[in-house]
Homo-oligomer: A and B are copies of this chain.
Amino acid sequence: MFRHAGETDHASRLAFLPGLEGALMAPRGRAPRRIGQVPLYEMVDGELRQRLLQKVYPPGAMIPSEMKLAAELGVSQGTVRRALNGLVDEGLLTRRQGLGTFVPEIEDRRSLFLFFNMIGHDGQHELPPARLESCEIGAATQAEADRLALPPQSPVRRLLRVRLLRDRPTILERIVVAEAVLPGLGEGGALPDHLFRHYERSYGRTVTSAEERLRAAAASFGDAELLEIAPGTPLLEIDRLAFEAERTPVEWRRSLCNTSAHDYLVDRR
């Protein structure tokens, strides 16, 4: 309640808790404010997700303070805080004490290593450089259209990259993206090592989650040549679909890894 009309009337004023004035007489602001079945903090959470998705608060920006958000949304600071906690836990926001709450750019995010889990047998863990082998455009196969949730035959771009660890070709990446989502990707011939950052900066596509399926596969003759190993060598295949918010597929990537000197690390708590 206490709509705090006027002063905080931002552009993106929300259809949030429409009416619900007065009608309560408890001595001091004690009032159940939930509107339907869904808790208030979830509504705040949803509202903030919307704003992040629509780049009302773009990457790198500071969002309004907890007090300001509370006033604007007509809830208590504690409720805003609870919603923020969830978003911070997911890595969608970062708090800096004494400064404020920020929308992280992708390299600040856990994402950098969240999406790269190969670790050397000696503990080494760095994002290795990638060499672009090929880049072509074509009509999506059935599998590609399924994975990327595209209409059949949609134009897609296919990239082939080799990553070098310790100067040895170690990972072979086959990347497929929709031309409609990331138009002209890799046309210049060169591409940054860190593609997700590129997607965010150049296309405003922020990858926030991914699903990976791992299996073992034998190196084909072509793959073996690129990885400088014998055909038939066992490789770790990582089949990954990367999503932006709302589980919209952005990229399909199949990586073939030579695990003779590196493992894929998983920490289960």
Contact = CB atoms under 8 A, between A and B. Distances in A.
How many copies of this protein are present in the complex? 2
Nearest to A211: B267
Nearest to A264: B214
Nearest to A266: B212
Given A235-B234, A269-B208, A215 B115 contact: no
Interface string A227-269: 0000011111001000000000000000001010011111111
A114 interface: yes
Contact of A268 (B114, B214, B257): B114
A234 B217 contact: yes
A115 B266 CA distance: 11
Contact of A214 (B209, B236, B239): B236
Given A232-B232, A236-B236, A269-B208, A213 B264 contact: yes
Contacts of A234: 216-218, 234-235
A268 B211 contact: yes
B208 A259 contact: no
B269 A90 contact: yes
Contacts of A209: 267-269
Interface in A55-102: 90-91
A216 B259 contact: yes
Contacts of A232: 232
Contacts of A267: 209-212
Nearest to A115: B268
A138 to B, nearest CB: 25
A250 to B, nearest CB: 13
A212 B259 contact: no
Interface string A192-213: 0000000000000000111111
B265 A212 contact: yes
Contacts of A259: 214-216
Contacts of A263: 213-215, 239
29 contacts: A115-B268, A209-B267, A209-B268, A209-B269, A210-B267, A210-B268, A212-B265, A212-B267, A212-B268, A213-B263, A213-B266, A214-B236, A214-B263, A214-B264, A214-B265, A215-B236, A215-B259, A215-B263, A215-B264, A216-B216, A216-B217, A216-B235, A216-B236, A216-B257, A216-B259, A218-B234, A234-B234, A234-B235, A239-B263
